[in-house]
Amino acid sequence: MSHPELDVRVEPAPLGLEGLEELGPLVGILVGSESDREAMEPAIAELGERGISHEFLVLSAHRDPRGVAEYASTAALRGVRVIIAGAGMAAALPGVVAAYTDLPVIGVPLTSSKSVMGGLDALLSIVQMPPGVPVACVSVNGARNAAILASRILAQGGGYPGTPGRPTLEL
């Protein structure tokens, strides 16, 4: 709905769907801030060693909620099969991602230099998802375990043999 006299649009702009025709990697790694990058490098390294395709994006649930919604709601269409989301402090990112996708989401609570509880704050945030919106959670700064868990989820396949979209991985 719009109000021409005020020239104010009260409906949100549509989510961008650019790039949907391009096949994405199997695992999406998200972090809430550029300052989280170093803590998530073990996940990138682990997936790289296992030969599992992945992408890394900085997307904040609080500073760029529309970007998070766009990514999460289109990830499965691009072929992504598991999402790893690391965040510190209020650590809303894994939960918001899970709100927009049925893909398995693995949360990684991170220690932030600004954290008042050394990562316990992020841990409590990530594990306290409401019923119906699950997020798996590894240990504080457990990025490598998140990658290993993602690879084990992928190793289960996407359904019965021959199911369209089933990842053809040898792990």
Per CB under 6 A, residues contacting ligand RP5 are 32-33, 35-36, 60, 87-89, 110, 112, 114
Residue 101 vs 112, nearer CB to ligand RP5: 112
Q: What whole-number distance in Å separates Cα of residue 126 and Cα of residue 134?
A: 10
Q: What whole-number distance in Å separates Cα of residue 9 and Cα of residue 28?
A: 33
Taking the complex as a whole, how short is the minimal distance between the CB of residue 119 and ligand RP5, in angstroms? Answer: 9
Residue 33 vs 101, nearer CB to ligand RP5: 33
Residue 89 vs 147, nearer CB to ligand RP5: 89
Taking the complex as a whole, how short is the minimal distance between the CB of residue 115 and ligand RP5, in angstroms? Answer: 7
- Rounded to 10 degrees, the C-alpha dihedral 156/159/163/165 comes to -60
Taking the complex as a whole, how short is the minimal distance between the CB of residue 113 and ligand RP5, in angstroms? Answer: 7
Burial 120-149 (b: 16+ CB within 10 A, else e): ebbbebbeebeeeeebbbbebbbbbbbbbb
Residue 36 vs 70, nearer CB to ligand RP5: 36
